[in-house]
Structure 1
Amino acid sequence: MKLKAFCLILLFNIFITTAHAQVAFSCNDGPFIVGATSSQPTPNLYQINTSTIPFTFTVVSTTGSNISYNAIGYRISDNLIYGIEEAGVGSSSANLVQIDATGTTTDLGLINGLPIDRYISGDFDTSGNYYVSNSESNTIFIIDVDSRAVTNQFSYTANYRFSDLSYNPVDGMLYAISTINTLAPDEAGQLLRIDPSNGSLTEVGNSSGGNSGIGSISFDANGTLYAVDNLSVGVYSINISNGNTTLISTSPAFSRADSAHCANAIFSGPTPVLPPVAVPTLTIFGIIFAALLLLYNLNKTVFRKTV
């Protein structure tokens, strides 16, 4: 009887494990965006193909799960995406959601130590730490997804608000772009660098064109930063030295969006073209001076050969 009960328990555990088996993403397949268009309030997961211009956005197949989520990040150790549940647009939660390569979502339950709120920004570092922030405060929480617990948190002294965080594997910093709900005197469109070790915030520079509708950003292994602007309907390359933006491609008109990308993968496709360097125009006096300088150097060369 004990053997029969043991076998039944074993079969039950195998069934549960199989039922919850997750299909891993490929590290080279991203980036991915969870986005909602104006006609579709429940977000879909889109895979972005960056190998051609314009980029193509393909909806990842789904098995019918209706869990809504935001603040997604890609964890390298298991090649799965994680996010924070949204019971509806703008709703609050503290539940961890796992998303696999088929689009299947699993509610993993409450995150211990995480206040119930609306979390819209998130990303993983290469060590597996999950960083999330809500839409209205200046606090970033660090989460261990295996234990579903907050392991640390820090605050920055600024009024900036942003819709996504992204971890740069090259310098180990978090980056964000401030959005239109940023509080005065701080401004929208500012590229921000945040040190995850202490929360110190650096204003890198205001993005050219004042891109204030950035909904999602992603770094690749080379430290290349892409951003999708929901308002201007475009994908931009961001210069992390000064915040300047270069339009790369069009994008769908998302009403809200968030992105995740494997930090060990490199964005494929064309490299952003830098503007040409301007050649100074010489005046008539400049031309005369250049001619005299050339003649002087030529005479010196002839004189040396003669001697």
Structure 2
Amino acid sequence: SGTSAQLSLYLAAEAPGVWNAFVNTQGCAAPCSQWPVFPGAAAQNGSDGVADFVANDAFGSGAIGYVEAGYAFGRAFPIVRLQNNSGNFAPSDVSSTNGPQVFSEDVATALQHATLNANLTQNLNGVYNAPEANAYPMSSYSYMLVPTTGFPPSKGFVLGTWILYIACGGQQEATPLGYSPLPPNPVQDVFHVEREMPGAPAPPPLDNVHCPNPTITNGPGTPPPTGNPAVNGTGSGGSHSGGGSSGGSTTVTVVKPTPAATANGSGALSGTVTLSNGTTVETLTTAQQQSLALAAWEAVGNAGRQSQLPLALVTAGIFVIVFGPMLGRRVSRHEVGSHD
């Protein structure tokens, strides 16, 4: 699984002696997506499987597992705090009421230092060693693969419009779900790749009017102010300190609230939203969003591995280790045939 791979990459970078000794006896060098089942370990399928095992005292009492933060918050698990490069332990000051908010800020802070390799895969070395006092070092994000050739421009426009929504306004939904909104540097990387799609609309300016991402509008999940602003893009997206440059002759499509649109408790818009092309959209209720999210999870779980596509987009994720009621044996996560 992607979570297993991310844990192995973090351990290989931050504790190479311990990790290499494990690899020498158990195999599976980083990135290790399917960990070997060593003595004292129990393999479970997916984050839900790991979290359910840890939560069930009938067979998981004393277990330690690793899952994305949303799974831990949903089950009220205690969360391991990691010492970061500044010597502090993150997340700090997490309670039953502020956990997602604090954790989201700490992850977004660390991800300001994410860069891209030449093949557009993530490079998290700067994240592991983020200098900020609140940075959560074991932070990462998931990829979306998109076509850049052999794709109808009409579909490229629709997909590109949706991707721009994900990178901007859609990030408002991350914190309540236990995830973190993308900071500006990965958003610039998303814009760079989105431009490569046939028929895709040009990205909007990277400001709080045209891209209502909480890390840009200072909404929930925004990193605390530091001496190192994260406006500049990194990786193959190049360096940008303002709006994204336009690409092609397509028209920028930006989601703008109308007077009928209001902000709900999570900071997301509800009511009527008008796109820049004049299309009016009625936003979903919370119940409708939850129903669609459940259907999406089921569809993803039943989907097979997709064909290879050339470029990746990013969505931020949070990764935590959680403890059961007592410390004891370790739980290893396996997901056969799945990918993030």
Taking structure 1 as the reference length, the TM-score comes to 0.27
Which structure has the higher relative contact order (CA within 8 Å, separation 6+)?
Answer: 2
Task: Looking at secondary structure, tell me which structure has more helix per residue.
Answer: 2
Task: Looking at secondary structure, tell me which structure has more strand per residue.
Answer: 1
Taking structure 2 as the reference length, the TM-score comes to 0.25
